Amino acid sequence: MARRRRSAEEARGEILDAAEALLLADGPEAVRIRAVAEAVGISHPGVLHHFGSVDQLLEALHRRAGRRLREELLASIPTDASPEAIGAAVASAFERLRDPREGRLLAWLVATGRDPFPPEEEHGLEVVAQALHGQRGPDTELDETRYVVMLGLLAMYGDALVGDGVRRRVGLDEDAGAGFRPWLLRLLGRELQGR
């Protein structure tokens, strides 16, 4: 196969795309330097040149997933704080996490001890909390907004990972997930409205 010239940034992006595709298709064991190199059409040393090791490649994949989550959450924050707009934003985030591909990526991050959220030094979730807090009334405490963000994300991640099993064990049927999400959205919306 003829190799094509790429900038370092393009090569890194393609390597991460290939690693993520392998991870989502066949699990973390499938993310091997040779397999990634073959998928991208570069040499094994070429992947190592950009990432150093499979562990560093997986760490870069983790950081990219966290950044993507932060950017999508920030993009979904409405310009007005109406319950409907907030509900639509949270529903969009919920649907993204319910995607089986995202669920697998999330499960891998959690199972390997990696924090699925944006890197702490980038203040990823703090930026989201600050953006939401800016839409609340002046009498609200920032920590209350942080609690709402925390509750929403924990509920969404938990639902993506173990929601079906938990629903069965508390006596809800398979379709109860469709009811849980709107209920949670109403709860979060009320909290963000300070009601």
Which three-class secondary structure state does DSSP give residue 31?
coil
Give the whole-angstrom CA distance, residue 175 versus residue 184: 15
Q: In this structure, what token pair is assigned to residue 94? A: 């919920």
* Percent of the chain scoring above 90 in pLDDT: 20
Q: What is the pTM of this model?
A: 0.64
Which amino acid does the sequence have at 145? Answer: T
Do residues 29 and 14 lie in contact, with contact meaning Cβ atoms separated by under 8 Å? no
Query: pLDDT, tens digit, for every residue of 4-62?
Result: 678 889 999 999 999 989 987 887 788 899 999 999 999 999 999 999 998 889 888 87
Q: Distance between CA atoms of 167 and 165, rounded to whole angstroms? A: 5
Across 179-183, average pLDDT = 81
Give residue 124's pLDDT.
67
Return the minimum-mean-pLDDT range out of 70-79, 127-136, 158-167.
70-79
The pLDDT tens digits of the residues spanning 118-155 come to 566 666 678 778 877 877 767 888 998 899 888 988 88
What percentage of the chain exceeds 70 in pLDDT?
73
Terminal C-alpha separation, the chain: 62
Contacts of residue 73, Cβ cutoff 8 Å, sequence gap at least 6: 93, 128
